Amino acid sequence: MKFGFLQRRRIPLAWLLLTRQPLRLLVALAGISFAGILMFMQLGFRDGLFDASVTVHRLFDADLVLMSPRSMSSISMSGFPRRRLVQAMAHDDVVGITPVNWNFLLWRNPETLSTRSLLALGFEPDDPLFIDPNLALKARTLTNPGRVLFDELSRQEFGPVADWFRRGKIVETELAGKRVRVSGLVKLGPSFGADGNVLTSRETFLQLLPTTPPGSIELGLVRLRKGTDPESVAQTLKASLPEDVSVFTRQAFIEFEKNYWRTSTSIGFIFSLGAAMGFVVGSVIVYQILYSDVSDHLPEYATLMAMGYQLKTLLGVVAREGVLLAIMGYVPAYAAGQGLYALVRSSTKLPVAMDFSRATLVFLLILIMCMCSAMLAMRRLIDADPAEIF
């Protein structure tokens, strides 16, 4: 009768076992939190770098993008005939196009006179380029030769251009060895391939890079009639245009760039390996804590078994300890991850931010880590002989 009474009370045995030795519990939570923080940072850096590689790509005002099949990524763009973009206008659902030149040029810091490579985009000032509605007004200043719009989110190594311009100072410097003047500021943000950006007219771009054929472009932006299926139009253009041009939907263009950094570089592997190492370290720490806990309480477990408790009930206690450790270790890891993400964003301007999918993934990894460690620790209880313990 007494035994049934204890069962009905549902004594929180797992919680009592964990909190019996507060220092051991704190060590376990510190280890789990450290593993969680490591996984948050490694996965955050990996996804942040992939997202940073398409900072500019996401801003284009386009439903479809034409590109040379020889282009490998944003840091290795090849040209294709501009007339392919004009041919795309023959499709009934195409309502606008924007030819874009894309290349990396040397920018001279107007303060220190040091040079650094940045991304230069050349387009017709009257054509839409980005979804930012304020760009059209600023782009009018590019009709004058030698004018550029400077990305104020560029890294500090390019000089105090934005600060000088806001103070009304005329900002002139060299781009590709030729004199240019900053006629306005835009907000684009650095990417993984480019630390800074400038926009200019195609006329100025061709002056900066006279070796570029006038009829060649690196990107062709295509805007479709509202309500049109971009994938359907893309397939039609692929069939009608020559093989010297590739057609992407806007999202496929973004994924094309991400896939380059994911598969053609070691970035994804390195950061995924770092997250895996955090998982392993956390598993070892949790296993040691739970194994020690089971070993220290073997006489108590043996007593409960002698009282009639089934083995699966006691194994459930160890499993619940693993779940409690996962939950309590995850909370500080999540909080620390948020703080570190904010620090990384302010220091490097990388788009590293907590999202639901990553938060869920890390929690599941921590839960699996603790449950696997609990299962291994259970072997000590399974192998124990109550007769030998007494």
Tell me if 105 sits within 8 A of 208, measured CB to CB. Answer: yes
pLDDT bucket at 65, cuts 50 / 70 / 90: very high
Q: With 90 as the cut, is the pLDDT of residue 294 above it? A: no
Structure tokens at 321: 């300890």
Structure tokens at 57: 């790509």
Q: Is 170 exposed, middle or buried (0-12, 13-18, 19+ CB in 10 A)?
A: exposed
Tell me if 66 sits within 8 A of 247, measured CB to CB. Answer: yes
If you average pLDDT over every residue of the chain, what do you get? 86
Give the residue-averaged pLDDT of 88-98. Answer: 93
- Cα distances (Å, whole numbers) of residue 164 to 135, 167, 268: 20, 5, 39
Pairwise CA distance, residues 289 & 24, whole Å: 7
Tell me if 66 sits within 8 A of 388, measured CB to CB. Answer: no
Task: State whether the Cα torsion 155-131-176-141 is positive or negative.
Answer: negative
Give the residue-averaged pLDDT of 272-279. Answer: 84
3-state SS string over 77-141? Answer: CCCEECHHHHHHCCCCCEEEEEEEEEEEEEEECCCCCCEEEEEEEEECCCCCCECCCCHHHHHHH
Among 318, 306, 322, 315, which Cα is nearest to 382's?
Answer: 315
What percent of the chain clears pLDDT 90, i.e. is strictly above it?
Answer: 48
- The distance from CA 141 to its chain's CA centroid, rounded to whole angstroms, is 34
Residue carrying the six token digits 């103070």: 167
Among 313, 105, 102, 306, which Cα is nearest to 217's?
Answer: 102
- Number of neighbouring beta carbons within 10 Å of residue 18: 22
pLDDT computed for residue 189 by the predictor: 83
pLDDT bucket at 3, cuts 50 / 70 / 90: very low
Give the residue-averaged pLDDT of 217-238. Answer: 94
Q: With 60 as the cut, is the pLDDT of residue 32 above it? A: yes
Give the residue-averaged pLDDT of 285-311. Answer: 71
> Which residues are within 8 A (CB) of 353 and not within 5 positions of it... i.e. 6 or more apart?
44, 48, 341, 345
Tell me if 98 sits within 8 A of 123, measured CB to CB. Answer: yes
Strand partners, 65: 221, 248
pLDDT bucket at 11, cuts 50 / 70 / 90: low
**pLDDT tens, position by position, 181-205:** 999 999 988 877 788 999 999 999 9
pLDDT bucket at 1, cuts 50 / 70 / 90: very low
**pLDDT tens, position by position, 315-325:** 777 788 888 88
Give the residue-averaged pLDDT of 249-276. Answer: 84
Q: Are strands 64-67 and 147-151 parallel, antiparallel or unpaired?
A: unpaired
Give the residue-averaged pLDDT of 338-363. Answer: 86
Q: With 70 as the cut, is the pLDDT of residue 277 above it? A: yes
Give the residue-averaged pLDDT of 89-108. Answer: 94
Q: With 70 as the cut, is the pLDDT of residue 136 above it? A: yes
17-26, 331-340, 357-366: least confidently modelled range: 17-26
Q: With 90 as the cut, is the pLDDT of residue 275 above it? A: no
Among 372, 376, 329, 368, which Cα is nearest to 38's?
Answer: 329
Can you list the alpha helix ranges (DSSP code H) found in 140-249? 161-166, 202-208, 230-240
pLDDT bucket at 61, cuts 50 / 70 / 90: very high
Among 125, 120, 144, 149, which Cα is nearest to 136's?
Answer: 125
What percent of the chain clears pLDDT 70, i.e. is strictly above it?
Answer: 90
Pairwise CA distance, residues 237 & 63, whole Å: 13
Pairwise CA distance, residues 147 & 166, whole Å: 16
Pseudo-torsion of CA 187, 188, 193, 198, nearest 10°?
-70
Q: With 60 as the cut, is the pLDDT of residue 304 above it? A: yes
pLDDT computed for residue 222 by the predictor: 96
Q: Are strands 94-108 and 147-151 parallel, antiparallel or unpaired?
A: unpaired
